[in-house]
Amino acid sequence: MSLDLKAQVLEASVRLIAEEGLAGLSMREVARRAGVSHQAPYHYFDDKAAIVAALVERGFTRLADRLEAASREGLASQRLARTGRAYVAFALDEPVYFRLMFRPELADRARFPAVEAAGARALGVLRRLVDESLGPRATPARREATVSMHWSLAHGLATLLLDGPLGASLAPGPARDRHVDEVLRLFVER
């Protein structure tokens, strides 16, 4: 099984979860959808939990890539708003990944330490921006509270758009994009 086939197994898993939910994920069905023998996924994944952990890791890696790209230039407040926007965009672009990533019972971080590392990388982007925006005199408690506050806003906004009433009232398009931008702008200007 080539690395491309490993990616095929993961992509087939994402499509299967999108269509049937996590309960529909099975090694045999993933293999069928990936167009490989029913034993082929076992070359890379011991079981269904290993596939889910790989998807969670991949999700955090993709999120971290977006956050890092959004955090490169400008004032800290501008970068905080852009990373918030990148977070929301990731959730809307990659809903299967987003829904899996924040369910700790799905990926045992002791068994799959790469999941922990990928999550820490994504959170590290926010921590660095908060450290920069608060400056050296901020207390550790204030730093942690500020990280939680920014993360909560972006995560809550993403969740409300993806699975909540904002998604029902704001269809994809310019009006929704303006709303997200305005919420994030108001938040970082507080």
pLDDT at 77: 86
Calculate the dihedral angle through the C-alpha atoms of 99, 102, 105, 107, rounding to the nearest 10 degrees: 90
Nearest to residue 30, comparing CAs of 76, 43, 92?
Answer: 43
The torsion region of residue 75 among left (phi > 0), alpha (psi -120 to 50) and beta comes to beta
In the chain, which stretches have pLDDT less than 50?
1
End-to-end Cα distance, the chain:
53
CB 64 within 8 A of CB 118: yes
Interatomic CA distance for residues 114 and 20, integer angstroms: 26
DSSP tag of 76? H
pLDDT at 24: 94
Mean pLDDT across the chain:
93
Burial class (CB in 10 A: 0-12, 13-18, 19+), 137: exposed
> Domains (ranges, CATH) in the chain?
1-45 (1.10.10.60), 49-188 (1.10.357.10)
Q: What is the pTM of this model?
A: 0.92
* DSSP states of 92-114: HH-HHHHHHHT-GGGS-TTT-HH
Residue 60 makes CB contacts below 8 A (sequence gap 6+) with 101, 115, 118, 119, 121, 122
Interatomic CA distance for residues 176 and 158, integer angstroms: 12
pLDDT at 76: 87
Residue 112 makes CB contacts below 8 A (sequence gap 6+) with 50, 53, 56, 57
Q: Which two tokens stand for residue 172?
A: 């994809």
